[in-house]
Amino acid sequence: MALRPPSAPASPWRLGEAMSMVTLNAVGFVLVVAGWSVAAGRLLFHDQVSGANVAIAGIIVAGVGNGVWLLTGRRAVGLRRRTVADAIERRYRSLPRPITEASTTFVASKGMTRYHRPDCVFVVERRVTARRRETHESQGRTPCGVCRP
């Protein structure tokens, strides 16, 4: 089963975003080199300040380009993660459940804010304690939205 929808791109960045990052890095590099060439060969500090300012501006331009590029990728990965999580949840809810007796005990561990059925995907291979629904609710827990106890 393919979890990636057909319209989802293979990369978190589009070509234009990558080109913007490359362009801003190139401009930043040129400014750093220009600042270095202005400050090079100058003996006194006050003669080197203008070159240092240009070089610092170049570092800032390149940093902004890289920061925007990383934030764009982070946003795309977050959207993809939510899409995959929704697909997994839809698949999990569509699976037929065996008809069993209604359980009166549900499970949770110390740090959990929700209580679950013993066969819930969120408590598999976890150390949990079985208690009655009233006990979990008195401890401030709410029912799981996936297994719906």
- SS3 string of the chain? CCCCCCCCCCCCCCHHHHHHHHHHHHHHHHHHHHHHHHHCCCCCHHHHHHHHHHHHHHHHHHHHHHHHHHHHHHHHHHHHHHHHHHHHHHHHHHCCCCCCCCCCEEEECCCCCEEECCCCCCCCCCCCEEEEHHHHHHCCCEECCCCCC
Q: Do residue 21 and residue 84 come from a single domain?
A: yes
CA angle 69, 32, 51 (to 5 degrees): 140
Res 24 pLDDT > 90: yes
Give the global pTM.
0.53
- Condensed to tens digits (0 to 9), the pLDDT of residues 85-119 reads 888 777 777 666 554 555 678 898 888 889 888 88
Res 33 pLDDT > 90: yes
Q: Do residue 42 and residue 63 come from a single domain?
A: yes
Residue 1: band (very low, low, confident or very high) from pLDDT cuts 50, 70, 90: very low
3 within a domain of the structure (yes/no): no
Domain that holds residue 33: 15-94
* Lowest-pLDDT choice from 9-18, 54-63, 129-138: 9-18
What pLDDT was estimated at residue 129? 86
76 within a domain of the structure (yes/no): yes
Asked whether the beta carbons of 68 and 93 are under 8 A apart, the reply is: no
68 within a domain of the structure (yes/no): yes
- Condensed to tens digits (0 to 9), the pLDDT of residues 138-148 reads 989 998 888 87
Q: Which of 7-21, 22-36, 118-132 has the highest mean pLDDT?
A: 22-36
12, 71, 82, 116 from 23: Cα distances, Å: 18, 17, 31, 52
Query: How many folded domains does the chain comprise?
Result: 2
